[in-house]
Amino acid sequence: MSKKVLVISTSLRRNSNSYRLAQEFAKGAEAAGHEVELISLIGREINYCVGCLACQNTQKCVIDDDANLIAEKLVKADVVCYATPIYYYEMAGQMKTLLDRMNPLFPSDYAFRDVYMLSSAAEDGKDTDARAKSGLQGWIDCFEKARFAGSVFAGGVTMVGEIEGHKALQEAYTMGKNV
């Protein structure tokens, strides 16, 4: 059965290593016959949540920026995959800002069930992505029908293009193919 898969690359660096992971995940999901959209946050305006909670009644944020467009796509997706660089052992700030802005989805009849995370970092330690996964899990925990479905981490990559040949690219492709 074909699923709607939304892949969101949160890196603001063009051709970043985490974006490459997102591309491979998307290619895998497309190869499996799913409808896939890959969104990059590059050039997007996403402001901070102001905590007014108006969205809990309207299911739309009062801030008129690109987060509303992403929320409209996310609510209809069966599968969501976030890709992020790891900065200081945590998800990139723009990913956290985007997650905060997805608050209008909380009271909605959202479609997504499986949420994935792809990440890359200069550090290659075993737990380098642990805090980022924990942060995403906290967001997922607010959506009773959703679950953290898996992650791929590429460590030891810093500069653009360093990820080429890394085993994580194949892992991301395979994960996408198996959604």
Whichever domain contains 141, its CATH number is 3.40.50.360
CB 108 within 8 Å of CB 146: no
What mean pLDDT do residues 8-22 have?
A: 98
pLDDT tens figures, 115-139: 999 999 999 999 999 999 999 999 9
Query: What is the share, in percent, of the chain residues with pLDDT greater than 70?
Result: 100
CB 124 within 8 A of CB 155: yes
Would you state the pLDDT for residue 27? 98
Chain-centroid distance, C-alpha 140? 12
Residues 108, 59 contacting (CB under 8 angstroms):
yes
Over the chain, what is the mean pLDDT?
Answer: 97
The H-assigned helical ranges of 86-166 are: 93-101, 130-140
d(CA 92, CA 102): 16
Region 69-86: what's the mean pLDDT?
Answer: 98
For residues 115 and 87, what is the distance between their CA atoms, to the nearest angstrom? 21
The residue segments making up the domain with residue 65 are 4-177
Q: How many domains does the chain have?
A: 1
pTM over 0.85: yes
